[in-house]
Structure 1
Amino acid sequence: METSVQVRRAVTADVALLLPLCAEHAAFERLAPSSEGGVEELVRALGAASTLYAWIAMAGDTAVGYSSATLDFSTLDRATYLHMDCLFVRDGWRNHGVGRLLWNAVHAFAGERGCRNVQWQTPEWNADATRFYRRLGALETIKRRYVLPLRSTV
């Protein structure tokens, strides 16, 4: 890869760049595509009163990856932590340092916000992600994740 990759905070104007990345990420993780638009919700979440923080990796005018996170509070730790919801790099751009650049942005943000730690999950079968996160020095904890849909997805 000759093209330099830059990571920056995503803003509402980046939603058109993020949506295809989110769709590719869902397909990669073997998730059913969302039948709901959700565009307005994503714009609102990235807006001025942010509840979602996101970063986008750009190679020139091409979006090649993204990460996203929310601030949360752990009653067990009695501290704020950053929940990294997504870290995704497009096929063809993996193993070129893009994931590390996105991680560095997430990590720096967590430090700036005084978070005790960063938490996230990855599918059990994603051995590449597991190796990447272990190289970062992350500790693995085993828990089951549950999802209970509250809205119809039809």
Structure 2
Amino acid sequence: MSRSLFRSKTLPDIRPVQRADMPTLINLIADHAAFERQQVDKAHLVHALPDCFFGDDACARVLVAECGGELVGYGTASVEFSTWRAACFLHLDCLYLAPQSRGFGLGTRMLAAFADVARAQNLGWMEWQTPDWNEDAARFYRRNDAVGQAKLRFSKQISG
């Protein structure tokens, strides 16, 4: 992907994911995981993600950023519940842009698109996390009026 695509008069399109996007999307997901010093099982994602993203039982909302016919980013979100607020909110699980597509306002547009999703579902707020070492992301979120929260995130494997 050439940075010149972003200098054209046509803005990248932000749209819902389509089944045909899955191979490229899975590569973006793997790139995102590697950036965050993690690994994913791409073969598992090929099998499991379509059920999560499409159909009546879909559990995630997925938006992709496309420029010049090429996917350059994605975001995934789901509705979660806050006991303390007694209300549901939009949990943004992933927001990732390929490195060459950063710095052109696309991340801000992606956040705004997810805010629109939250509004359409009458959700009062969004939440997400980023690794504590990712200062670029933290600065980006703060520039977009997000407030950091001092919490640790834990995980516990339950099966297999």
User: SS at the partner of 2:99?
Assistant: coil
Which of residues 19, 22, 26 is equivalent to 2:26?
19
Supply the distance in 2 between the matched residues of 1:39 and 1:77 (Cα, whole angstroms): 36
Question: How many residues get paired?
Answer: 152
The answer to whether residue 11 in structure 2 is matched with residue 7 in structure 1 is: no
Q: In the alignment, which residue of structure 2 is the partner of 1:28?
A: 35
Which of residues 103, 111, 118 is equivalent to 2:126?
118
User: SS at the partner of 1:14?
Assistant: helix
Matched ranges for 1:1-154 at <5 A: 1-3=6-8, 4-34=11-41, 37-49=44-56, 50-152=58-160
Moved more, 139-148 or 20-29: 139-148
Query: Aligned Cα RMSD in Å?
Result: 1.5
Give the CA deviation at 1:16: 1.6
* Unpaired segments ≥5 residues, structure 2: 1-5
1:91-111: CA deviation from partner (whole Å, max 9, x where unpaired): 111111111121111110001
Give the CA deviation at 1:14: 2.1
Supply the distance in 2 between the matched residues of 1:84 and 1:148 (Cα, whole angstroms): 20
User: SS at the partner of 1:111?
Assistant: helix
Give the CA deviation at 1:41: 1.7
Give the CA deviation at 1:51: 0.7
Cα–Cα, structure 1 residues 88 and 126, in superposed 2: closer, same or farther, change >3 Å?
same
Supply the distance in 1 between the matched residues of 2:29 and 2:158 (Cα, whole angstroms): 21
Q: Which amino acid aligns with 1:106?
A: F
Percent identity reads 33
TM-score with structure 2 setting the length: 0.89
* Unpaired segments ≥5 residues, structure 1: none
Supply the distance in 1 between the matched residues of 2:29 and 2:70 (Cα, whole angstroms): 15
User: SS at the partner of 2:29?
Assistant: helix
User: SS at the partner of 2:156?
Assistant: coil
Q: In the alignment, which residue of structure 1 is the partner of 2:3?
A: none
Structure (1/2) with the larger helix percentage: 2
1:45-97: CA deviation from partner (whole Å, max 9, x where unpaired): 11122211010000021110011101111111100100000000001111111
Contact 2:26 2:45 in 1 (8 A): no
Supply the distance in 2 between the matched residues of 1:150 and 1:15 (Cα, whole angstroms): 27
